[in-house]
């Protein structure tokens, strides 16, 4: 049977829409034999009502984008196209185009809807299946690039490799493998009883142990690194505001990651942990719940990226108890929710570098786009919210061919019904998804 990747390309870029009912009844070789003889070298032309220039923060009416293989060739208007019949035409004339958006903090191997404690006993194969499912769901929501900040047993790294091999659909993934933690800290397995002697895969105590764990993650395929610098909401026996890793340990992990050319993130709610991570040269701070003026000033001066998951608190407080989240963890969520949003607003006003990070898995995957409206509610303009999820996230990952609709950039293109700079909530309802020149949703 032909691969899903080839099938998507045939169904969505080569076959007229009136032929699709027939195609649904065809599979395997028969499907391939019924395809019209269209040259694979033919470029694709996307016509739309307009597109968003995210770098300039403005909408350009009347869009015509030409894609060749997996790259954007030209961006202009239909008047510049001499002969539309020379292209495979994708007519999106009532839609607005944007670059595929990017989420810098997800956990693809977990589901918020599952019972909280029971899910901790899922096998690695079970978690991998979850990651495969959630990768597809995330892509269909318009997120063509994500950074997965922690999963057991390298399950998401395996998922990423399957996506890259064209075996399953999903976004581009930067995956950390195991998140580094101190013994008994956030990111260790603290819910297991002592007699199980359960230790999470990322536990490392001391600077040299932290270096070794970074090296181990890289050995098994990590293309990003994460350390847990403070306590967290969804762990047992930790306080969200308390620093876990010492300055020396954080600096060792950051130096080791950077030596190998990888970007490193720090989970940090508390003020001291945030400052320590910035001093250590860590590239992005996750959550950023309790930021004082000095912490924000340090982040701005150092150029540290901030990732604030300011939507998921609503899901936790509404559904956490029904999903089996212990009351102690719900109370910790109440401690950080307002403080985190206040920190987000103040950091935005101060001009800090902000990226889009949702912490998906704390709420259902595929709902990532709901955070855009909260980012606007709590201090950003719609343009700033989109920039956080495009050009800023691309800059954090050091990717100069992602995050914009420009010639030479990868053809990661999404479409929504209205201008998102006028109504950011349309980002919750993405209608068209192209990643790497292949259409996945139309």
Strands 88-99 and 413-416: antiparallel
Taking 60 as the threshold, does the pLDDT of residue 193 lie above it? yes
Long-range contacts of 213-216 (CB under 8 A, 24+ apart): 213/178, 213/180, 213/253, 214/180, 214/253, 214/256, 214/257, 214/260, 215/256, 215/260
Confidence of residue 189 (pLDDT cuts 50, 70, 90): confident
What the block records as the tokens of 299 is: 């982040």
CA–CA gap between residue 283 and residue 257 (Å, rounded)? 10
What is the tens place of the pLDDT at every residue in 13-51?
433 333 333 333 333 333 333 333 334 569 999 999 999
What are the pLDDT digits (tens) for 73-128?
Answer: 999 999 899 899 999 999 999 999 999 999 999 999 999 999 999 998 999 999 99
Model-level pTM? 0.90
Average pLDDT over residues 324-351: 95
> What's the pLDDT at 41?
65
Q: Decide: helix, strand or coil at residue 37.
A: coil
Task: Report pLDDT digits (tens) over 233-292.
Answer: 989 889 998 999 999 999 999 999 999 999 999 999 999 999 999 999 999 999 999 999
Output 313-320 pairs: Cβ under 8 A, ≥24 positions apart. Answer: 313/337, 313/340, 314/363, 315/112, 315/362, 315/363, 315/364, 315/367, 316/233, 316/362, 316/363, 319/112, 320/116
The CA R_g of the chain, rounded to the nearest whole Å, is: 22
Neighbouring C-alpha atoms within 13 Å toward the C-beta of 231? 16
What is the rounded average pLDDT of the residues 382-397? 98
CA torsion, ordered 249, 159, 173, 308, to nearest 10 deg: -60
Half-sphere exposure of 166 (CA within 13 A, CB side): 11
Place of tokens 């099938």: 7
In degrees, rounded to 5, the angle at the alpha carbon of residue 343 between the alpha carbons of residues 338 and 348 is 130
Give residues with Cβ within 8 angstroms of 51, minimum separation 6: 59, 60, 63, 65, 75, 96, 97, 98, 405
User: What pLDDT shows up at residue 196?
Assistant: 79
């Amino acid at each position: 049977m032909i691969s899903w990747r080839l099938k998507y390309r045939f169904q969505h870029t080569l076959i007229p829409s009136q032929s699709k009912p027939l195609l649904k009844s065809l599979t395997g070789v028969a499907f391939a034999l019924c395809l019209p003889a269209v040259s694979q070298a033919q470029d694709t032309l996307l016509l739309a009502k307009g597109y968003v220039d995210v770098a300039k923060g403005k909408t350009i009416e009347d869009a015509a984008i030409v894609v060749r293989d997996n790259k954007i060739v030209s961006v202009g208007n239909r008047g510049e196209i001499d002969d539309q019949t020379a292209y495979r035409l994708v007519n999106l004339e009532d839609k607005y185009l944007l670059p595929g958006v990017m989420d810098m903090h997800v956990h693809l191997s977990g589901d918020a809807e599952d019972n909280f404690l029971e899910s901790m006993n899922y096998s690695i194969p079970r978690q991998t299946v979850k990651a495969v499912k959630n990768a597809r769901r995330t892509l269909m929501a318009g997120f063509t690039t994500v950074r997965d900040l922690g999963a057991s047993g390298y399950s998401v790294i395996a998922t990423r490799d399957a996506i890259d091999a064209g075996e399953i659909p999903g976004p581009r993934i930067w995956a950390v493998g195991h998140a580094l933690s101190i013994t008994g800290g956030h990111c260790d397995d603290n819910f297991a009883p002592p007699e199980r002697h359960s230790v999470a895969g990322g536990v490392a105590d001391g600077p040299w142990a932290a270096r070794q764990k970074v090296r181990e993650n890289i050995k098994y395929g990590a293309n990003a690194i994460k350390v847990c610098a403070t306590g967290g909401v969804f762990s047992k026996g930790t306080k969200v505001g308390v620093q876990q890793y010492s300055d020396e340990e954080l600096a060792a992990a950051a130096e080791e990651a950077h030596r190998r050319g990888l970007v490193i993130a720090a989970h940090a709610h508390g003020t001291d942990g945030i400052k320590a991570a910035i001093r250590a040269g860590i590239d992005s701070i996750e959550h950023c719940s309790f930021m004082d003026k000095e912490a924000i000033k340090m982040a701005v001066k150092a150029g540290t990226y901030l990732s604030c998951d300011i939507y998921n608190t609503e899901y936790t407080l509404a559904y956490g108890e029904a999903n089996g989240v212990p009351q102690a963890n719900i109370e910790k969520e109440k401690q950080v929710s307002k403080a985190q949003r206040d920190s987000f607003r103040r950091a935005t006003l101060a001009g800090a570098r902000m990226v889009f990070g949702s912490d998906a898995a704390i709420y259902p995957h595929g709902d990532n786009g709901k955070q855009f409206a909260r980012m606007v509610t709590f201090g950003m303009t719609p343009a700033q919210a989109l920039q956080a999820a495009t050009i800023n996230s691309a800059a954090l990952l050091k990717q100069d061919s992602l995050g914009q609709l420009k010639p030479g950039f990868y053809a990661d293109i999404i479409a929504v019904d209205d201008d998102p700079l006028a109504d950011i909530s349309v980002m919750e309802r993405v209608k068209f998804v192209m990643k790497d020149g292949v259409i996945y949703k139309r």
